[in-house]
Structure 1
Amino acid sequence: MAATEQSGRRKGQRTNRASEGKKNVVVLAEKRDQARQIAEAMGWRMSGDFGTGTFNGQKAVIVWASGHLVEIQEPQEIKPDASWSNPATLLPIPRSFDMRVSKPNNGRKGKSPSQYLKVIREQLRQAGEVIISTDPDREGTAIAWQLLEHCRFKGSVKHAWLVDGLDKSAVQKTFHRLKTGDEMKSWFRASEARSRSDWAYQFAVRALTCYARHGKMGNLLGQGSGRESVVSVGRVQTPTLTMVVERCREIRNFVPKDHFLIEGQFDLAGQQVAALYKPVVTAEIIDAAPAGVEWEPSKRIVKDGESEPLDTPLFTGQQEVQSFRERLLAAGDKAIVVGSKTRELKRQPPLPCDLAEFQAEMHKASGLTASKAQKVLEKLYNDGLVTYPRTEHAELPLSLYEPGERNPVLDHLTNHAQFSMAASRARDIHNGQDTGYPSFKPSCFTKKPMEHYGIIPTRKAAHLDRMNSLERQAYEIVAHRYIQALWPPALIREQKLGFAVPCEDLLGHPHSRFATTLNMVLDPGWQQAFPSEREKETDIQPVPVTRHMPAPLKNVELKTRTTRPPAWFTDRTLIKAMKSVGRFVRDPQLRKILRDSAGIGTPATRSTILETLLAREFIARKGNRLESTPKGEALIDDLPSWFVQVETTAVWEDWLNRICELRRDDETACQQRDKFVFRQLDRLEGYLQELQQRHGAISGSAPRRSGASSSGPRKPTPKMLAFANVIARTLGQPLPRDVTQNGRACSQYIDKNKSCLEPS
């Protein structure tokens, strides 16, 4: 009897193991559109809440989320006494990060997060293996792993890293080279480090909002009621606001200066060559303060290992400049060549687009905001027409240069009139069939490791006539840049010339030096691909010269110029500045971190940050330009330096990237995650303590601010309106309509213009 029972148990165990081996493969996508594209590529059938098919001989079920279905609990859920009205209750910041199902978005149609989660949980119960096929980035990876941990899934996990796009060929190729779960789990740990640290900023938001509502932060912050009075801050949001504030203040405080450019016309063996006066500048000369010269900070961007650049001279004294011109002409016959350097250089074509570059190109072409441009591009990605859009990199992996990868894309691009010539010739060049150029490896292809690469068209043929105008424009930008990148470099012959005239110059040198650069296009290369875009070159033949060769100065032209302030930020330039902000950082180590981490924010979040700043009324759009508001400037002025510096958030990105690199070592990744998070929490706690010391204890509801209303913009008080009318009459201008309707606008108008009533 015992032997029979033991035999039965063994038979049951074998049956269970066999059934476990036949469990389903569950493919977990980030959203329905993504799941549909994968199912179509793999030949699976979509129906209702999931799709079905087979993969490697097993039943496959594809399910999808809708963004983050689980999230960290709200502060008051983890710390019940955390209050918006008493900052003392916010300390200490909790070190636990319990998750819960995300709350439904108000007004959003469709299923709730809990309904999505129910479908996923039911399928995971029957799964022996999960293939994560969310967006190939930190957040996409986190969406999947959060669900697996929430549902306590213990089976095998693999990753379909969909960086090549969602067309049929790319999806099939990705599913045949799956990554292991532990290979990519560190990306989830990096996302946890980011989300937990960002979550802790809510405690600073509550404290700042409370103090602002009690009038501790001036008369702009904390105005109104509800969301209108919230003082929001964030690790990327606040440094980005600082960039806009500093630019606007620089423009407002800018004082234009008239000055002269001094151009000489030199005779080189009968050829007239124009050169600009370029004196040598030293610290001693700047200290000597020569007459007729003003100095401004150099705009040259410092490279690693270089010393700080000296100030740039502006020649402002008309009398001194005129006297200098006379000296030059008097000694002009004795002018000579003091330097000549000729070289041939290759001018490489522009790289394919990364997301920031694409957003800039779309804004330039159509005025589209960064967030709208990103949505258009993501629509093309979801339609399988372009590769993954949320990328920092513009280069391409070497594998995409293989004929089997390159030619199918170029083949279908030749079917469009606007690309046909350029695409077909690029294809012929790299197939060794072009008579003008031999095949070569374009500079856009690299061996360096990249999870995401430049945005290019996929093999899927695009039907431009079926797209709306914005989709068509977006596709054309991507295709244009890809084709251009495959063309040969332009070959330029560059000649740098230096001249000296034996007379005292404006800085006290005994000789006056002039310089110029002559360029001649030997081969236009990629500039032929789309001829209307050929870069303008001087196309002047290089001149055969020798050192000390006579070069008589025939004329001196004084060109008047006025210095200009920096340009206002636009959607296009702000997004690019967030990525390249490291170029302007003085500290070489921090500059390298910023460069390696590609600035502040991520491709996926930069446009969202911009929209948040606009929604909070910290910045405002005026036409195409972005301007900081008095409210935004008041916030930046109140915050400590580490809160607003771009270097702080750049260090974040550097740390998160290093967590991502801890592949197949989840224990170390978790340790580094916790070390990073606790460091941020310690710093935030210190700041909250500083606020308490500065503003004192506060408890109870905030006093009602003047003019605050429970809904809509507050009206200006009669006294405010009367004061604004006095200012308007003094300025001789009509009172703007928004000033008469909106108390905040009225207050800003008064603060900005009240100085006109002060006695001179």
Structure 2
Amino acid sequence: MHRLFLCEKPSQAKDIAKVLGANRRGDGCWLGSDVTVTWCIGHLLETAPPDAYDPRYKRWVLADLPIVPEHWKMRVKAKTASQFKAVKRLLGEARELVIATDADREGEMIARELVEHCRYRGPIQRLWLSALDDTSIRKALAALKPGAETFSLYHSALGRSRADWLIGMNMSRLFTLLGRQSGYQGVLPVGRVQTPTLRLVVDRDRSIADFVPVAYWAIEVALLADGSSFNAQWRVPEDACDEQGRCLNPALAQQAAAAIGNAASARVVKLRTERMGEAPPLPFDLGTLQEVCSKKLGLGAQETLDIAQALYETHKLITYPRSDCGYLPLSQHGEAPAILQALGRGDPGLAELLPHLDAQRRSRAWNDGKVSAHHGIIPTAAALSLDRLVGKQRAVYALIRARYLAQFLPNHEYDRSQADFTCAGQALRAVGKVIVESGWRRALPEALTPGKGRETQPAQPLPALREGQDCAVAGVTLKDLWTQPPKPFTEGDLIKAMKNVAKLVDDPRLKQKLKDTTGIGTEATRAGIIQGLLDRGYLRKQGKALAATPAAFSLIDAVPRAIADPGTTAIWEQALDMVQSGEMSLEEFVGKQSAWMSKQVQRCVSLRISISAPASPAAAAPWKKKRKTAPRKASASKGSAAGKRAAKPTSRT
């Protein structure tokens, strides 16, 4: 056999084999002339458990901790052993290997761990795919990378895997054993990523529970000018408002409302109109797609990923979905005319939009300097009739397509007018907005248009005003309002918080370090982390919102703060980026992780903890076979119940 292509999944292998002309089915492979295409089924190997290093580790004993392997071992996964056997045989026969797994660090590890385990020593090339339609596959085949160019991705993924093992195996054993000392008989899973993620929700729920609403007052004034009505807002005197410009003094607000109500008119004292422009939002990265789908479509993070993966693998309609980047390479701009034509053919509903598109337009999205290993998620030229897509798949595809189409439309432009008034000694302000050019918003349905939250009042057109003009006072409304607590996390909000963890860190030096990191977890793993916490009963859903269960509160209170600190996890991700770039060796990274973890074990071994039972039976006994039964109902946590009460708007009129 001359050349072997090693893919990540059977479906991916079938697509590549078809382009290569490898049409004969073999044992765990597709066969062609001097080429064979085989596949993994995710990871065919896994890191060996502690008892593979010493049989005594089958029993969980505090005295055996920490467990730090001197020489790391891998073992074949039992469920996919037959495919491993086929891949091992094919690697032994190959003269040249082309790694064709997913183009990310996890995909690199899936292939490289097999190369190492099976002792393949031949030449290696890398197929770097961003889409699975025939055109994209042919383009990638014509531009194979040297294997050495992506090898550092493997060490980064291996570092991540070993760090997860060290923290998971040691800290989970430690806290499970400490829990047993206090009478709790279940397993307490502690993870490098899942525990800090859980703390984000626990902290948010506590801030909701501890929130004390504060009453404030606002005044809305209806004004008339030349037969047109519009609204203005009372501006609280600087010496009588809080940091957000709100009036906390009811007597002052009532006095101002009475004075304005008794006035016949308000005079324009200052008028300003400014032309504003908004560039189109970038194409989606996975995290942003999950955030928008959660907010606008009510989809969970894992559900969004599964749909995007199907659009990529099964339908070939979008590019690689597990991207952490929304920018596009300049070289990709040349494919725009063909993609736009294909999108128009696939959906007659775009007929009104197509004349406004300019395939030569180059938005800020096209920027080689901003593109990471992957570019933004965009449609491919393999567009098909949308009738073949239904329900949620169609909705997610429409979102991805709309973001791409927006790149070929002008900026959204509007005139923002601000009119300041004086009325009975009180200051009023009216803000108006008139759209001049719809621009890229033509591509996005109004409900899905991103808002920046800069305006506190809904957009209204102002009539033609002039300084010195008097406008009649048509009505006055005194509003009795309450400050609102933080909102509970949705899955989309939590994904965003995991990405932008620097905003949640108080230490200014650490905050600066974290600004350019990948945050907690990666685009490919965040949805699975959240789903795992739901499955284990540490989180539960209340409509779209996520709530921590009592077990989550007690677990976060028990583990060392450093392990649950999102900043610590983000620093580890930053170190993994250094491994990928060659600034730190794999051995140095794992050595630091081992030393840090060992120190945490020593500090915690004498702790006394109290743990509430998780909400799911599976969490208490994860070694037992899962049954398809409904989870038991858990009592509401203090944070969730109090937050629910505080979140209801209240009026005291």
TM-score band, normalised by shorter chain? 0.7 to 0.9
Name the SS of the counterpart of 2:546 in structure 1.
strand
CA gap of 1:280–1:179, structure 2 versus 1, over 3 A, is: farther
Residue number among 413, 416, 421 corresponding to 1:494 in the alignment: 416
Matched, 1:323 2:255: yes
CA gap of 1:553–1:532, structure 2 versus 1, over 3 A, is: closer
1:303 is aligned to none
Question: Does the Cα contact within 8 Å between 1:495 and 1:542 map onto a contact in 2?
Answer: no
Return the offset for 1:651: 1.3
2:43 is aligned to 68
CA gap of 1:84–1:538, structure 2 versus 1, over 3 A, is: farther
CA gap of 1:593–1:277, structure 2 versus 1, over 3 A, is: farther
1:634 is aligned to 554
TM-superposition CA deviations, 1:244-270 (whole Å, max 9, x none)? 112222223333333211345678899
Q: Specify the code of the residue in structure 1 equivalent to 2:411.
A: P
TM-superposition CA deviations, 1:261-290 (whole Å, max 9, x none)? 134567889976644344576xxx6xxxx6
RMSD (Å) for aligned C-alpha atoms: 3.5
CA gap of 1:314–1:748, structure 2 versus 1, over 3 A, is: closer
Residue number among 305, 329, 352 corresponding to 1:374 in the alignment: 305
In structure 2, distance between residues paired with 1:66 and 1:711: 26
Question: Does the Cα contact within 8 Å between 1:456 and 1:479 map onto a contact in 2?
Answer: yes
Question: Does the Cα contact within 8 Å between 1:68 and 1:102 map onto a contact in 2?
Answer: no
Question: Does the Cα contact within 8 Å between 1:82 and 1:90 map onto a contact in 2?
Answer: no
Matched, 1:474 2:441: no
| Greater Cα offset, 74-83 or 440-449 | 74-83
Q: Specify the code of the residue in structure 1 equivalent to 2:415.
A: R
Residue number among 227, 230, 233 corresponding to 2:187 in the alignment: 230
Question: Does the Cα contact within 8 Å between 1:518 and 1:542 map onto a contact in 2?
Answer: no
Q: Specify the code of the residue in structure 1 equivalent to 2:172.
A: V
1:719 is aligned to none
CA gap of 1:399–1:544, structure 2 versus 1, over 3 A, is: farther
1:152-231 alignment, distance < 5 Å = 152-163=119-130, 165-201=131-167, 202-215=169-182, 222-223=184-185, 229-231=186-188
Question: Does the Cα contact within 8 Å between 1:527 and 1:534 map onto a contact in 2?
Answer: no
Name the SS of the counterpart of 2:6 in structure 1.
strand
CA gap of 1:482–1:440, structure 2 versus 1, over 3 A, is: closer
1:180-579 alignment, distance < 5 Å = 180-201=146-167, 202-215=169-182, 222-223=184-185, 229-264=186-221, 274-279=231-236, 311-312=243-244, 314-326=246-258, 337=269, 341-364=272-295, 367-383=298-314, 384-402=316-334, 405-417=335-347, 419-421=349-351, 424-425=354-355, 427=357, 429-430=358-359, 439-448=360-369, 449-499=371-421, 513-529=427-443, 537-540=459-462, 543=465, 545=467, 554=473, 557-579=477-499
Matched, 1:676 2:589: yes
CA gap of 1:198–1:121, structure 2 versus 1, over 3 A, is: same
Return the offset for 1:52: 2.5
Name the SS of the counterpart of 1:256 in structure 2.
coil
TM-superposition CA deviations, 1:464-520 (whole Å, max 9, x none)? 3344533333322322322233222111122344456795xxxxxxxx654443322
Question: Does the Cα contact within 8 Å between 2:413 and 2:439 map onto a contact in 1?
Answer: yes
In structure 1, distance between residues paired with 2:171 and 2:267: 67
5+ long unaligned stretches in structure 1: 1-22, 106-111, 224-228, 296-310, 431-438, 504-511, 663-667, 697-704, 715-737, 754-760
1:651 is aligned to 571
Question: Does the Cα contact within 8 Å between 2:325 and 2:374 map onto a contact in 1?
Answer: yes
| Greater Cα offset, 610-619 or 594-603 | 594-603
1:4 is aligned to none
In structure 2, distance between residues paired with 1:97 and 1:261: 67
In structure 1, distance between residues paired with 2:111 and 2:235: 60
Return the offset for 1:608: 0.7
Q: Specify the code of the residue in structure 2 equivalent to 1:319.
A: A
TM-superposition CA deviations, 1:61-89 (whole Å, max 9, x none)? 11111111222221232244446542121
2:452 is aligned to none
1:299 is aligned to none
Question: Does the Cα contact within 8 Å between 1:498 and 1:515 map onto a contact in 2?
Answer: yes
TM-superposition CA deviations, 1:552-601 (whole Å, max 9, x none)? 79475422222222222222332233223433444455445444234321
CA gap of 1:125–1:541, structure 2 versus 1, over 3 A, is: farther
1:108-147 alignment, distance < 5 Å = 112-113=80-81, 115-147=82-114
Matched, 1:32 2:22: no
Q: Specify the code of the residue in structure 2 equivalent to 1:444.
A: A
Name the SS of the counterpart of 2:31 in structure 1.
strand
Name the SS of the counterpart of 2:605 in structure 1.
helix
Name the SS of the counterpart of 2:351 in structure 1.
helix
Alignment length (residue pairs): 615
CA gap of 1:158–1:278, structure 2 versus 1, over 3 A, is: farther
1:615 is aligned to 535
Return the offset for 1:95: 4.7
Q: Specify the code of the residue in structure 1 equivalent to 2:195.
A: T
Give the % identical residues. 29
In structure 1, distance between residues paired with 2:477 and 2:363: 44
Question: Does the Cα contact within 8 Å between 1:342 and 1:493 map onto a contact in 2?
Answer: yes
Question: Does the Cα contact within 8 Å between 2:550 and 2:636 map onto a contact in 1?
Answer: no
Question: Does the Cα contact within 8 Å between 1:499 and 1:513 map onto a contact in 2?
Answer: yes
Return the offset for 1:409: 1.6
Greater radius of gyration (CA): 1
CA gap of 1:534–1:476, structure 2 versus 1, over 3 A, is: closer
In structure 2, distance between residues paired with 1:533 and 1:711: 39
Question: Does the Cα contact within 8 Å between 1:78 and 1:94 map onto a contact in 2?
Answer: no
In structure 1, distance between residues paired with 2:361 and 2:619: 63
Question: Does the Cα contact within 8 Å between 2:98 and 2:127 map onto a contact in 1?
Answer: yes
TM-superposition CA deviations, 1:655-699 (whole Å, max 9, x none)? 22232233xxxxx65x2x222222222221111111223359xxx
Return the offset for 1:184: 0.8
Question: Does the Cα contact within 8 Å between 2:266 and 2:421 map onto a contact in 1?
Answer: no
Question: Does the Cα contact within 8 Å between 2:174 and 2:605 map onto a contact in 1?
Answer: no
Name the SS of the counterpart of 1:27 in structure 2.
strand
In structure 2, distance between residues paired with 1:534 and 1:365: 7
In structure 2, distance between residues paired with 1:315 and 1:118: 73
1:724 is aligned to none
TM-superposition CA deviations, 1:71-114 (whole Å, max 9, x none)? 222123224444654212113x4253422223324xxxxxx23x
Q: Specify the code of the residue in structure 2 equivalent to 1:442.
A: S
In structure 2, distance between residues paired with 1:490 and 1:684: 52
